[in-house]
């Protein structure tokens, strides 16, 4: 038994998680700025960051380039695939042909 463990109430779980009874899938609900302590001080970047959870990035010439954060996984995949074309990634090796130089 764990001492001093805090349990989340069912009301909080209902705010955070959506349940689809047809598929049985649990998904995260978007979080509002009021759910974060920093928003009381006017810094609400955490809510935006939370709601855009899928991050896309690519390594070019040994440097990791951030391609952005996306709310939809398909958008993050599309951003990565576009960057692969832009930087000349080879499908078999996932390495750039020109070691970090963008192709025109």
For the stretch 37-70, pLDDT in tens is: 766 666 666 676 777 778 888 888 888 898 988 8
pLDDT score at 1: 44
- Residue ranges of domains in the chain: 10-51, 54-86
Sign of the torsion angle spanned by Cα atoms 36, 39, 44, 45? negative
- pLDDT exceeds cutoff 70 at 88: yes
Q: What is the pTM of this model?
A: 0.50
Residues forming a β-bridge with 26:
19
Mean pLDDT over all residues of the chain? 77
Which of 6-10, 35-39, 91-95, 100-104 has the largest mean confidence? 6-10
Rounded Cα–Cα distance for residues 48 and 35 (Å): 12
Contacts of 101 (CB under 8 A, 6+ apart): 61, 88
């Amino acid at each position: 038994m764990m001492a001093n463990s805090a349990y989340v109430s069912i009301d909080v779980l209902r705010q955070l998680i959506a349940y689809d009874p047809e598929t049985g899938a649990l998904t995260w609900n978007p979080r509002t700025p009021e759910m974060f302590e920093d928003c009381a001080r006017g810094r609400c970047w955490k809510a935006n960051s939370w709601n855009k959870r899928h991050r896309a990035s690519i390594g070019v010439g040994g440097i990791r380039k951030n391609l952005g954060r996306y709310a939809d996984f398909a958008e993050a995949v599309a951003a990565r695939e576009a960057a692969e074309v832009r930087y000349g990634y080879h499908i078999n090796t996932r390495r750039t042909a020109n070691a970090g130089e963008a192709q025109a």
